[in-house]
Structure 1
Amino acid sequence: MPIEPRDFDTLYAAGTRYAEPGNGYRILLQEDRGWLSLPTGRVVAAEPAVLGADTDRYAFAQTVPPGRYPVVLTIAEYRQSPAPDADVVDERVAAARLVIRDEPVTGWEMALPPGRHAEALGDDEFYGYPVDGGTGCFVDPGSTPLLDDDEEMRDLSMDIADRPTSVTVLEGPDGEPILAAFTTGWGDGSYPTWVGRSASGEIACFLTDFGILEV
């Protein structure tokens, strides 16, 4: 069986504290927000470095109405002790959520490329995107022709490194946010994206889990 979705709303609830013996405590209480334009309503979650003319093949089968949507990061703070004023020793992005509807999620499913089926996966397998540079993003494949400026992409990488727990937004010529980027948990690896659906069955969000919390 492929991996099962976790209870993300509980796992990543603001203010939740997890003891980490020998390594301080993990405290989920911060969020950073940016915006992303989806002109076609298709969604790609990927490392920015792989985006190009063939980005269509990375787009998920699940689509949403075209529009501009918020991207929200959940940040894990690592503190020396559970005391409220304990020093923060590290911060990491635990999850990135592209919010389509501000409604409670009642069910999760794996975000899948067209023609792929979760039933074809083996034990503990998942469809995810590989990361080799510690960075991920959400983007509409219809916007990727605007991302062919190498200097602009280098500047994006520098901006992400300068603000590793923030959403870094790249704007197109018309000022629309065409890419929302962020660091990926502990860095390199492969990360699944999940689709959260509301009680009515509509897509409420896409969420990429970076595996910070192994609980």
Structure 2
Amino acid sequence: MKWVGDARLAAGPEAAWYLETAFTPGAHLGTVHDDPTTPIVVTEIEEVTTMRIPSGRLVVDAPFDDDDVSRYEQGLPTRPPRELAVSIPPGVYRVEIAWTAGPYEFFGEHFDGVECAATRLCISDDPVIVWEMGLGVGDDIERLQPDKEPRFCSDANVGCFADAGAWTTLSAPFRAFKDGSPVPRETERLPGWCERVRDESQQADLVMFMAESGGVVWLGRTKTGDVATIVVTSGMPGAKA
């Protein structure tokens, strides 16, 4: 039976085009700012790592923010993470980054313009037929404004995928401060400026990635409605047509 979603969550034509194009090597995602002759090209889809999500519950959020760290230092309760309302089968999944390049010149200096266009968690290889915004637990679709995409906020321009059941342990290294300064955290460094934290007691992981100014979470669904991929991106066309 074909999946029929809620039209209020559906990606508009521009957003759907971006989500498909960002993961197509060689495709053009537009042109460099102030230089319409130089395209921004998708150069690579890089598999950064795999991660374990044994609970099937997924947090897609910043691993920390300024207010959260301040409350943590004072011994106050921190805000709950943004857990997605949709669950996925427990398992081990690939994390991939779509890289783009758009060379440019600034004050006589040349730059390669390499940037992260989007990051995705690959649940299955089944074809995606529709994209929709991913609501968090507690989000009310009835209060969703037509011109606003639900997103997580990030003071440090990062986001993460993490198993919700092990969130407290997995996010702890990002909350370690002393005298107002961050303590070097014990995380595993990965390609693409990513980091990973493992909780071996629960066989669960957190993977941090770049997400400028936070990001919109998108679900790529198959014809049966199963979630095949979860994508985070920012600086892209709006959700609605």
Q: Identify the TM-score tier after normalising by the shorter chain.
A: 0.7 to 0.9
Which of 20, 27, 30 is the aligned partner of 1:16?
27
Give the structure 1 partner of residue 4 of structure 2: none
Q: Which runs of 5+ in 1 are unaligned?
A: 82-86
Q: Tell me, in whole angstroms, the C-alpha distance in 1 between the residues paired with 2:157 and 2:187.
A: 10
How far the C-alpha of 1:167 sits from its partner, in A, is 3.7
Which of 21, 32, 36 is the aligned partner of 2:46?
32
Give the structure 1 partner of residue 158 of structure 2: 135
Do residues 46 (structure 1) and 73 (structure 2) align? no
Q: Secondary structure at the match of 1:144?
A: helix
Q: Tell me, in whole angstroms, the C-alpha distance in 2 between the residues paired with 1:104 and 1:211.
A: 25
Cα 1:153/1:46, change in 2 over 3 Å? farther
What is the correspondence of 1:171-190 to structure 2 with a 5 Å cutoff?
171-173=198-200, 176=203, 178-184=205-211, 187=212, 189-190=213-214
Q: Secondary structure at the match of 1:9?
A: helix
Q: Tell me, in whole angstroms, the C-alpha distance in 2 between the residues paired with 1:142 and 1:69.
A: 16
What is the correspondence of 1:47-66 to structure 2 with a 5 Å cutoff?
47-50=62-65, 58-66=82-90
Q: Tell me, in whole angstroms, the C-alpha distance in 1 between the residues paired with 2:117 and 2:183.
A: 24
Aligned identity (percent) is 22
| Runs of 4 or more above 4 Å deviation | 1-4, 50-57, 156-160, 174-177
Do residues 94 (structure 1) and 127 (structure 2) align? no
Cα 1:89/1:60, change in 2 over 3 Å? same
Amino acid corresponding to residue 170 of structure 1 in structure 2? V
Once the two structures are superposed, residues 16-57 of structure 1 have per-residue CA deviations (whole angstroms, 9 ceiling, x without a partner) of: 123225354311121222112111101111111158886765
Question: Normalization by structure 2: what TM-score?
Answer: 0.71
Do residues 72 (structure 1) and 93 (structure 2) align? no
Q: Secondary structure at the match of 1:61?
A: coil
Cα 1:201/1:132, change in 2 over 3 Å? same
Amino acid corresponding to residue 108 of structure 1 in structure 2? W
Amino acid corresponding to residue 44 of structure 2 in structure 1? Q
Q: Secondary structure at the match of 1:58?
A: coil
Once the two structures are superposed, residues 171-212 of structure 1 have per-residue CA deviations (whole angstroms, 9 ceiling, x without a partner) of: 23469561111112xx3x242101111112111011112225
How far the C-alpha of 1:105 sits from its partner, in A, is 0.5
Amino acid corresponding to residue 171 of structure 1 in structure 2? R
Do residues 168 (structure 1) and 182 (structure 2) align? no
Give the structure 2 partner of residue 84 of structure 1: none
Give the structure 2 partner of residue 116 of structure 1: 139
Once the two structures are superposed, residues 59-92 of structure 1 have per-residue CA deviations (whole angstroms, 9 ceiling, x without a partner) of: 11100111111111111212249xxxxx762222
Cα 1:119/1:137, change in 2 over 3 Å? same
Q: Which runs of 5+ in 2 are unaligned?
A: 1-6
Greater C-alpha Rg: 2
Native 8 Å contact 1:55 1:141 kept in 2: no
Native 8 Å contact 1:128 1:193 kept in 2: yes
Q: Secondary structure at the match of 1:63?
A: coil
Residue-pair matches, total? 203
Question: Normalization by structure 1: what TM-score?
Answer: 0.78
